Amino acid sequence: MNEALLDHFFPPRHGPPLPSILLPYGDCPELTKEDVSSALLKCLPTLATGPDTIPCSVWNAVHHVSPDILVSLLTLLLQFGHHPSSLKMANGIVFDKPGKQSYNTPASFRIIVLFQTISKILEWIVASHLTPIAR
């Protein structure tokens, strides 16, 4: 059952190889302290952490003490369009779906993925920039 769940929820992916030299994109908007601050407002203290176990309260404290740290870090990730594999790591928790007659197939379960909080912050910033374009 363990192998069936792993194959179902985490199928092997074969993506294109990463370029050996990363070049910045030309039209990447510059992030501001306000962009990071508004994303951190969505980062509740009760938000579950990923493999890094860094809670949102730490990122809020870092941003409060020195806002330029997160702005610089996240701006570079956006400018180069590269999300490092170390930030893509996540914890997956598998729960059984209530009311199923049998739990012999992977379809009888659901997964909750806990991403690293810095990745969530970056996702919220990107979403806030894409929302007006999509509308």
How confident is the model at residue 19, as a pLDDT? 61
Task: For residue 1, give both structure tokens.
Answer: 């059952």
Tell me how far CA of residue 115 lies from CA of 17, 49, 68, 87, 126, in angstroms.
23, 7, 23, 8, 16
102-134 pLDDT tens trace: 888 888 999 888 989 999 999 999 899 888 888
At 21 the pLDDT is: 63
Q: Residue 61's pLDDT is what?
A: 93
* Apex 111 CA angle, 51 and 5, nearest 5: 100
Nearest by Cα to 50 from 123, 112, 128, 7: 112
Secondary structure class of 112 (helix, strand, coil): strand
User: Domain-by-domain residue ranges, the chain?
Assistant: 30-134
